[in-house]
Structure 1
Amino acid sequence: MRRQWLLGVTCLLLLTLGYRVRAQDSLIRALTRQLAITKTDTGRVNRLIDLANASTDTNRVSALQYSNEALALARAINYKPGIAMAQFTLGRAYSNLNNYDRAVSYLNAAGDGFSQLQDSLGVARVQSRLAWVSIQRGDYATAFELGQQSLRVAEQRNDLLLIRQTHSHLGSLHILLGDYTLALEFLTTAMDEHERANDLRSVCRTLNALGELYRLKGDPEKAQNYYDKSIRLAESLQNPLLRAEAESNLAAVETEQGQPLAAIRTAHRSLRVLLAEGAYEVIAWAQTVMARAQLATNRADSAVYYGQKSWNLSRQIGYKEVIRDASQILAQSYARQNDYQRAYQYQQTFIAYNDTLLGAQTRQQLTILQQNAKAAEQQAAAILQAEEDQRQQQRLIGALIGLGLLGVVALVLWRSNRQQTRTNAQLRQQQAELKAAQNQLIQQEKLASLGELTAGIAHEIQNPLNFVNNFAEVSVELIDEIADEHHKPNPDPQLTDELLTDLRQNLQKISQHGGRASSIVRGMLQHSRASSGQREPTDLNALCEEYLRLAYHGLRAKDKTFNASFQVDPDPALGPVQVMPQDLGRVLLNLYTNAFYAVQSRQKTTPTAGYQPEVTAQVRLENDQAVIRIRDNGTGIPAALLSKIFQPFFTTKPTGEGTGLGLSLAYDIITKGHGGTLDVDSHEGQGTTFTLKLPT
């Protein structure tokens, strides 16, 4: 029924298109005539603001000009409502032009003006727009808080326009946070509200957002269906920018569905319009889509061309997500061209941005989770306090009225108890939602360890690759010398034998270091696979040594100045142990990373003459148990905090540097997944030892 209704609306649009376009032009002409005949200065300010609002979607430069004129005139006559409103329209105009710093400056000024005027609805409109700007800048926690504040005021004042705008913003926000269920709920509500208001531009944008939701969710058919609807609606509205935005997303889906040639044609159409409109963020995204499609058709040169354009533009405007994607495409494209040096450089950039974005998103989701939990606690406390106040009042009334009204008091208490039951049910539901969100963060923490591992692998794999390249170059020179000697009238057999011996040794070295690089790649692939949950015989001595080395190189990849000594003390008597190697590897990587962080912190914060950072791992077979002890001589953990060290979301690191989930997950993997134990012994200022015991 919903699809049939939307189809009917689209058909009606096609019939009334000419009228709607003429109506928009007529509105601007009518406002221009009114401005010309308006005598009062305050009236002229209001007409200029109306013109800025009417030009927002059709001519962004004109909207900026009208807003500046309105602000100058309002300041000249000290018309405070006009000043605040002109600052708001300026903030919106600059945000549409992707100039977010100036947008935030004007929006904050508008918010202050509305607050002084005690205009709560004006403040809510500012908060809604600031939420949208925060989404574009990647500050999801701020966007979530501002969006919730704006929505509460809009619902209290029953401002339908602000309600549907805020629902759209929150839907887009939850897409970025990966909460597709809640995103679909917000966007579906926003779609109904836009349709009832006959706001077809917002319907077009919401269709595009729904397509993006299903594309990220892994349902390309539904995504393409929504993109097609958005494109048709944009065509009927004669809005080339909306169509180009939808086509850039459609091209990404076409590439994912194995239609790169169609994606190239679609992306070309999109880029022609976007470049003319100056929509820089969408241009950077569309160029990345084009580069990926070119790479899918084995056109590495074209992929490099578009990937480099996207990389340069996204760095200029600070679009980190596109910098990450463009770096990955450039690394793959240069590898296809056998330019491994550039491929390696861009792969390092991809890893750095991917780690940064993943960590930032995890921290922002944690912030939103904490905000929800705090709000739920405050709401529950307020309800319980209100219930207690009501009960106190009821007792007083009962004492004054006496036994004659005992039945009435009993009835009131019964109703109070029923309300209390409902309150408890709401609190349990909120706790369940909180638990679900925590589980989602835990899964992301598991993925975050892959970034640490990849940085270490990339740093370590460079050594065997350097050896391979060097020996290969020397081998080519040896072959040239053999060829020269062979073509001489009287070749020297002894010299030829010596050259062949050197060549054989070089090829053996190439094979040796190539095998080392191959083993590193196999280890990376094994770690990146999801755990099967099956235990397999594993050499714990080798596993501990490999992850210790990778953790060290992972930290060195971020801080070239850091150096530390590290070693593994193996137990030759310990045979293979039945464990889940991927899960145990994550535990070791987390403990090693924490150990190197601790010694690095001690070296920076309390430098001591002769201090040498040191991390060691000892493997032993004791009482039919495999025992792994990981020691460091870092900062140590205060005794008062040791009892909390394995609690979820508890961390001793500064704000923003840890989620507090790593040790909690490690404890669960060892105790629940392997039936072992994980203990900690630490002395503040001296170091820490973690002891893992696994049944053999």
Structure 2
Amino acid sequence: MRTVCILILCWLGPVQAMYAAQTNVQIDSIRQLLRTPHPDTTRVLLLAQLAYEYTQTNPLATIAYGRQALRLAQQVHFQRGECWALIRMGSGFREAGNYPAALQVGLQGLHAAEGLGDPELIGRALNALGYLYWEQGNSRPALNYFLQSKRMAEKISNQKLLTRVLGNIGNVYQQLNLLDSALYYLRRGYTLDLVNRDLVSEVGDAGMLGNVYARLGRSGLAQYYYRRSIKRAKKPHITFALCRSYLGRARLFEKEGGIWADSALQNGRQALAAGQLGHYPKGVLEASQFLATAWANRQDTAAAYRYLSLANATRDSLFSLSKMAQVQALEVSDRLSQQELAAEQEQAEAERRQLWLLAALAGALPALWLLWRNNRLKQHAYHQLNRRNAQIAAQRDRLREALAELKATQNQLMQREKMAFLGELTAGIAHELQNPLNFVKNFADVSTELVEEMSGKEHEVASSNSIGQEFLTGLKQNLQKISQHGQRASSIIRDMLEHSRSGPGRREPSDLNALTEEALLLAYQGFCVKNPEFKATLTREYDPGLGLVPVIRSDIVRVMLNLCANSLYAVLERQRKLEACAATTGYEPTITVSTRRTTEREVELKVLDNGIGMPESIRTKVFQPFFSTKPPGEGTGLGLSLCFDIVVQSHGGNLAVKSKENEFTEFTVRLPS
């Protein structure tokens, strides 16, 4: 059976070398072999190779065949086959954009290869992990894995692995903007690609050489390598190379402008089409981002918005907070596992030393001195192991304490932010309270005068019941109005106390139109108290059929207050900039607040302003804690972060932002109903 496995592996090597001309033939050949009887170990290797053949064209098929290979290898206890299956599955998950799954499977493959002590498998697993980190933009860990893989390939003289690794090292240096080092390794890798006839590595390295030469300002060489990469990658449709090379050409044409503008858009669309056809999310993301920017530069906002929406959706699927948290959790788990494994190895080594000492004790008396000495060494090793375990336990305890402190600090920050909101709204609430209290005072004064008048004309009242009845009616109406406006003042105070209350609230069916109107008026009045000369147009577009929605009233009011306050600040800043430039003609600060029911189970609230807007570099960070664009002392940087927590974590909804610098900003809150 081992002989058959070796023959299969020898057959697989030249198959990879003829990838460009015989991709479909290879797949058909492997499938034909799978239809004929073979030992299970041979079938595992065939399934793993079939998974590899689909990596650049259909990563979902790679994952499926990799799983088949893994299940069969586990059934027949074929450990080497398990390693190959895990490495192929990791590549499939990476190309499909599922980075947490790729990291988990890749680490399993590396540990399995290390358990076997197979240098080739270890090198392959290290290279795959390095590529995964490079795709995510984590250059330092990627470079570490690639250099380890390079040392392993050189140790066993594996030229096929070395040609892949050298180009990958060049990719990392290009990502780090160390262009001389990138050019050195990419040239070496490209030369080996041609020698070993590795088409996948060749077209990838050619595309990256084009990127490096483009950044060095050598557009002629860049175009040469882009064209070569596209020409060689087209027939077998090697997705990642087509995406990178088309996109590189598009960026080069866009930079040159003029007559090349249409070519830039054409190449951008070809890059996007290649990524979509090959199920390559990272390529789709980069191509759609380029097209969105290109159309925006051409003032075609509809096309720019369409591609920007595609880019945002793809980025969310690749780099969402939950996926990044999974990746970090897997990294921490792997480090802890490595520490525990090291501790177990130390303990096993100590136990082996103890057994050796017992065997020596069964010898002759001359070995007693050696036994005593080794026993002391054993005790010392045990003490060191105990100290190490104690240190690990202490570190874990400190981490738990730090986590508890972090959660407590977060709760305190949320409460402080609530109080900050309350302080900002105090002026608006005071203004709102002033009107009912004035009514109370005025009507109280009128009622007092009526009573005094009735007392002075008591004899007239007795002689004329109609006059007395008129006085009593007026007095009654005034007292009713006093009661009405007193209740209104009490309601405002109650809402203020509700905003300042700490801890999670209870969801209640609420009228979101009324809550939104309340937040808009309070934010506007408070803003006008601090800026008396400021005026803005407030536009309401409320859905009358919205219905009652179960929410935490105080939290939703706080979210809408924060969004409205930010919009008021944005339009005031734009007005000030225009006044400073003496260009205020035609500008009118406008805030539009709208509600609508999008589906039976979802409602939508929007706050739109025509203020200063935000560039993309700021828009991607607005929901991060402590990030603020306001001057020191005017903003805490926690408002939008806490709004995001309230909408997403407390209500299971979604909070998104769209903006264009010096034109508009729109926040959208979606809540389940």
Give the TM bin, normalised by the shorter chain. 0.5 to 0.7
- The answer to which of 213-222 and 409-418 deviates more is 409-418
From 83, 89, 95, the counterpart of 2:43: 83
Contact 1:55–1:63 (CA<8 Å) still a contact in 2? Answer: yes
Contact 1:91–1:102 (CA<8 Å) still a contact in 2? Answer: yes
Q: Tell me what 1:610 maps to.
A: none
Contact 2:243–2:287 (CA<8 Å) still a contact in 1? Answer: no
Q: Tell me what 1:301 maps to.
A: 262
Q: CA deviation at 1:271?
A: 0.9
Distance verdict in 2 for CA 1:337–1:563, change over 3 Å: closer
Q: Which has the larger radius of gyration?
A: 2
From 88, 107, 110, the counterpart of 2:66: 107
Q: Tell me what 1:94 maps to.
A: 54
Distance verdict in 2 for CA 1:385–1:326, change over 3 Å: same
- The answer to which of 418-427 and 80-89 deviates more is 418-427
Per-residue displacement from partner, 1:366-388 (whole Å, max 9, x unpaired)? 33234236526754886899899
Letter of the 1:419 partner, please give it: L
Q: Tell me what 2:300 maps to.
A: 339
Contact 2:86–2:109 (CA<8 Å) still a contact in 1? Answer: yes
Q: Tell me what 1:617 maps to.
A: none
Q: CA deviation at 1:564?
A: 4.2
Q: Tell me what 2:18 maps to.
A: 58
Q: How many residues align?
A: 443
Contact 1:275–1:283 (CA<8 Å) still a contact in 2? Answer: yes
- The answer to which of 111-120 and 258-267 deviates more is 258-267
Q: Is the partner of 1:56 in helix, strand or coil?
A: helix
Q: CA deviation at 1:589?
A: 0.9
Structure 2 gaps, min length 5: 356-370, 404-535, 537-560, 571-590, 609-627, 656-668
Q: CA deviation at 1:209?
A: 0.6
Among the aligned pairs, what percent are the same residue?
18
Q: Distance in 2 between matches of 1:200 and 1:554?
A: 64
Q: CA deviation at 1:44?
A: 8.6
Contact 2:58–2:279 (CA<8 Å) still a contact in 1? Answer: no
Q: Distance in 2 between matches of 1:226 and 1:557?
A: 56
Q: Tell me what 1:147 maps to.
A: 106
Matches within 5 A, 1:272-283: 272-283=231-242
Distance verdict in 2 for CA 1:382–1:50, change over 3 Å: closer
From 32, 37, 47, the counterpart of 1:69: 32
From 269, 291, 296, the counterpart of 1:330: 291
Q: CA deviation at 1:427?
A: 7.7
Contact 2:563–2:607 (CA<8 Å) still a contact in 1? Answer: no
Per-residue displacement from partner, 1:350-370 (whole Å, max 9, x unpaired)? 334334433165233233234
Contact 1:300–1:333 (CA<8 Å) still a contact in 2? Answer: no
Q: Tell me what 2:174 maps to.
A: 215
Contact 2:186–2:205 (CA<8 Å) still a contact in 1? Answer: yes
Distance verdict in 2 for CA 1:326–1:176, change over 3 Å: closer
Per-residue displacement from partner, 1:588-619 (whole Å, max 9, x unpaired)? 111122233367549x9xxxxxxxx9xxxxxx
Per-residue displacement from partner, 1:492-540 (whole Å, max 9, x unpaired)? xxxxxxxxxxxxxxxxxxxxxxxx9xxxxxxxxxxxxxxxxxxxxxxxx
Task: Tell me if 1:316 matches 2:280.
Answer: no
Q: Is the partner of 1:563 in helix, strand or coil?
A: strand
Matches within 5 A, 1:189-208: 189-208=148-167
Distance verdict in 2 for CA 1:415–1:342, change over 3 Å: closer
Q: Distance in 2 between matches of 1:555 and 1:174?
A: 43
Q: Distance in 1 between matches of 2:208 and 2:293?
A: 22
Contact 2:54–2:62 (CA<8 Å) still a contact in 1? Answer: yes
Task: Tell me if 1:124 matches 2:83.
Answer: yes
Per-residue displacement from partner, 1:47-89 (whole Å, max 9, x unpaired)? 56743443123133343233222211116xxx43333333233
Letter of the 1:67 partner, please give it: I
- The answer to which of 270-279 and 377-386 deviates more is 377-386
Distance verdict in 2 for CA 1:591–1:386, change over 3 Å: same
Q: Distance in 1 between matches of 2:174 and 2:605?
A: 45
Q: CA deviation at 1:421?
A: 3.3
Distance verdict in 2 for CA 1:559–1:190, change over 3 Å: farther
Structure 1 gaps, min length 5: 1-40, 394-404, 439-515, 517-540, 568-576, 605-612, 614-631, 636-684, 686-696
Q: Distance in 1 between matches of 2:343 and 2:306?
A: 54
Task: Tell me if 1:587 matches 2:638.
Answer: yes
Task: Tell me if 1:421 matches 2:387.
Answer: yes
Q: Distance in 1 between matches of 2:634 and 2:342?
A: 39
The RMSD of aligned alpha carbons is: 5.0
Q: Tell me what 2:326 maps to.
A: 364
Distance verdict in 2 for CA 1:306–1:556, change over 3 Å: farther
Q: Which has the higher contact order (CA 8 A, sep 6+)?
A: 2
Q: Tell me what 2:183 maps to.
A: 224
Q: Is the partner of 1:74 in helix, strand or coil?
A: coil
Letter of the 1:563 partner, please give it: E
Q: Distance in 2 between matches of 1:102 and 1:280?
A: 14
Q: Tell me what 1:163 maps to.
A: 122
Q: Is the partner of 1:562 in helix, strand or coil?
A: strand
Q: Distance in 1 between matches of 2:51 and 2:597?
A: 38
Letter of the 2:603 partner, please give it: F
Distance verdict in 2 for CA 1:366–1:584, change over 3 Å: farther
Per-residue displacement from partner, 1:164-199 (whole Å, max 9, x unpaired)? 111211221222344433322221121122223333
Q: Distance in 2 between matches of 1:554 and 1:431?
A: 49
Q: Distance in 1 between matches of 2:593 and 2:61?
A: 38
Per-residue displacement from partner, 1:66-113 (whole Å, max 9, x unpaired)? 3222211116xxx43333333233223333x52223332222222222
Q: CA deviation at 1:306?
A: 0.9
Q: Distance in 1 between matches of 2:342 and 2:219?
A: 54
Distance verdict in 2 for CA 1:358–1:150, change over 3 Å: closer
Contact 1:128–1:166 (CA<8 Å) still a contact in 2? Answer: yes
Q: CA deviation at 1:305?
A: 0.7
Task: Tell me if 1:247 matches 2:202.
Answer: no
Letter of the 1:155 partner, please give it: E
Letter of the 1:328 partner, please give it: Q
Q: Tell me what 1:34 maps to.
A: none
- The answer to which of 418-427 and 66-75 deviates more is 418-427
Q: Distance in 2 between matches of 1:338 and 1:302?
A: 18
From 546, 549, 552, the counterpart of 2:566: 546
Letter of the 2:327 partner, please give it: Q
Q: Distance in 2 between matches of 1:113 and 1:247?
A: 38
Letter of the 1:310 partner, please give it: A
Q: Is the partner of 1:419 in helix, strand or coil?
A: helix
Distance verdict in 2 for CA 1:145–1:596, change over 3 Å: closer
Q: Distance in 2 between matches of 1:132 and 1:152?
A: 16
Q: Distance in 2 between matches of 1:339 and 1:235?
A: 43
TM-score w.r.t. length of structure 2: 0.55
